[in-house]
Chains A and B, each alone.
Chain A
Amino acid sequence: MIDVRLLTEQFEPGQFIGAFTAAHPGLGGICSFVGEVRGAGGVEALELSHYAPLTLPGMAALAQTASDRFGLMGILILHRTGQMAPGEPIVCVSAASTHRRAAFDAVDYAMDHLKSQSWFWKREKRAGQWHWIEPRADDYADLSRWD
């Protein structure tokens, strides 16, 4: 099962992971990653904007590619948009497979691609001012691990 969603409101990752797990009887393992908004550096809020015609289709294509590449039983990709506070979940990826290695690798792969190739623009508020976040060189380096 491939389940990919953009969420506009705060979400509880465990609820989605629980339902995703229940949808895959006979699995060998689930690996899940939850990313949260960092509060370091005086960040007061984070805002993610997206472009609807590209963002969700791109995430769906990534989910399909990861599923095929690692032979998954299923993959769940959730991503927030809109304004978030530090400590709120922003992304959740779960992979279900018959063996653990595929699940670990698929989540790692999906996160590296989400971080560097998905259509999101991010800005953070510090001391009452919004600042756009530039792409990080590390994100591209992480991506190159999968070439």
Chain B
Amino acid sequence: MAAKLVFLGRLADIAGMTERAVATGPLETILADLPPELAVALLGERIRLALNGELLVSHGGIVLGEGDELAFLPPVSGG
């Protein structure tokens, strides 16, 4: 019944945490339950997504199932 969101970089500051357990289901539903400021930041056009460690090419139609991990990756600042 739970999936996980992971917040990297400045998104962790906005979220106030590095990861958060969420109910499974469509991403839109999950985001609607988050604080609006965080949801807006997560939907930024420069944010990339990785589902279970694989970068997503398309951000549409994401549905999280049991045990799924969705990471939100802001632009990297370089090594």
Contacts and interface: CB of A to CB of B under 8 A. Distances in A.
Interface of A: 35, 48-49, 51, 53-54, 79, 90-91, 114-123, 132-136, 139
B77 A135 contact: yes
Nearest to A136: B78
Given A51-B8, A132-B9, A115 B78 contact: yes
* Range class of the B interface residue count: 10 to 19
14 contacts: A49-B8, A49-B12, A51-B50, A53-B69, A54-B73, A90-B79, A115-B79, A118-B79, A120-B77, A121-B9, A121-B10, A132-B13, A134-B77, A135-B76
B53 A135 contact: no
Contacts of A79: 79
Nearest to A138: B78
A119 B76 contact: yes
A134 B10 CA distance: 10
A133 B10 CA distance: 9
B79 A121 contact: no
B77 A118 contact: no
A123 B13 CA distance: 11
Contacts of B71: 51, 53-54
Nearest to A115: B78
Question: Which DSSP category, helix, strand, loop or mixed, fits chain A's interface?
Answer: mixed
Nearest to B6: A51
A16 B74 CA distance: 32
A49 to B, nearest CB: 7
Contacts of B21: none
Nearest to B13: A132
Contacts of A122: 77-78
Interface in B1-17: 6, 8-10, 12-13
The listed residue with most A CB atoms (<10 A of its CB), out of B50, B69, B77, is B77
A121 B76 contact: yes
Given A49-B8, A121-B8, A121-B9, A135 B79 contact: no
